[in-house]
Amino acid sequence: MTQSELYEAALQKFSQQHNCQLEFERNEFTLTVKSEAALEVFTQLKEQKEFCFDQLIDVAGVDYLEYGKTEWKTDQATGSGFSRGISKNTFGRFKFDNNPIESDMQGYRFAVTYHFLSVENNQRLRVKVYCEDNDLPRVDSICRLWASANWFEREAFDLFGIVFDGHPDMRRLLTDYGFVGHPLRKDFPLVGHVEVRYEPSKKRVIYEPVSIEPRVLVPKVIREDSRYKDGAESQAEES
């Protein structure tokens, strides 16, 4: 067996032992792990010789709110006018009402994805952990296994509101200490809640109401583009 085949067989066996889901798409392996077992799985992925993922490349939060849905049925939409692009009942992007929007990913709204590299085995792996609680998403910190996770986890906490249990310094990283909300959540308005600027006369930063008019910035219609028509027709003829 080749090294790639041995690696795939080891991943298959590992996923069965730890009750994980293993996917292979676009020449990449993705391991989906339950949050309560994530820390043990990460420890094994680093320490076991057949994996030896000694480098953590990235940690990123994901918000699956409205995943797979579109705001407009663009094929049936009218080709003229602005419609709800300037409607007053939308604030920034989404229309808010009293009905909460649920995630489409088996009830989980938030997830954390990790990308690893094994220098010794020349292999890469993506690990995805879904947060069990949509109201207070949280997973275990992996800072004690990979020190580089420190700022990655702080960034995900700041922008998505995902809490990493056991993190040594769980503070905001990119926004102000008094900032309200998490900018990369899909229900966060594009125009924000407040405007921030420095006031020379007061010699401090001040917060003011948003002066930008809320607009929906999603394209309303799909128009044919002649630049790609010839290529599409040639592909159809070849098939």
Q: 27-65: per-residue pLDDT in tens?
A: 899 999 999 999 999 999 999 998 999 999 999 999 998
pLDDT on residue 235: 56
Homologous superfamily of 1-65+105-175: NADH:ubiquinone oxidoreductase Nqo5 subunit (3.30.460.80)
* Cross-strand bridge partners of residue 116: 56, 125
Tokens of 130: 């879904």
Tokens of 108: 């989980």
pLDDT greater than 70 at residue 223? no
185 within 8 A of 161, measured Cβ to Cβ: yes
Digit-coded pLDDT (tens) for 118-137:
999 999 999 999 999 999 99
Q: Which 3 state secondary structure label does DSSP give 136?
A: coil
Digit-coded pLDDT (tens) for 64-97:
987 876 655 555 554 444 444 444 444 444 443 3
Domain ranges of the chain: 1-65+105-175, 68-102+190-224
Q: Which 3 state secondary structure label does DSSP give 7?
A: helix
> For the chain, what is the radius of gyration of the CA atoms?
23
Residue 95 CA to residue 92 CA, distance in Å, equals 8
User: Taking the CB of residue 104, how many other CB atoms lie within 10 A of it?
Assistant: 14
129 Cβ contact list (under 8 Å, min separation 6): 32, 33, 34, 35, 38, 111, 112, 113, 114, 139
Tokens of 84: 């709800």
pLDDT on residue 219: 59
What pTM was computed for the model? 0.74
pLDDT greater than 60 at residue 233? no
Higher pLDDT, 193 or 140: 140
The stretch 9-26 carries a mean pLDDT of 92
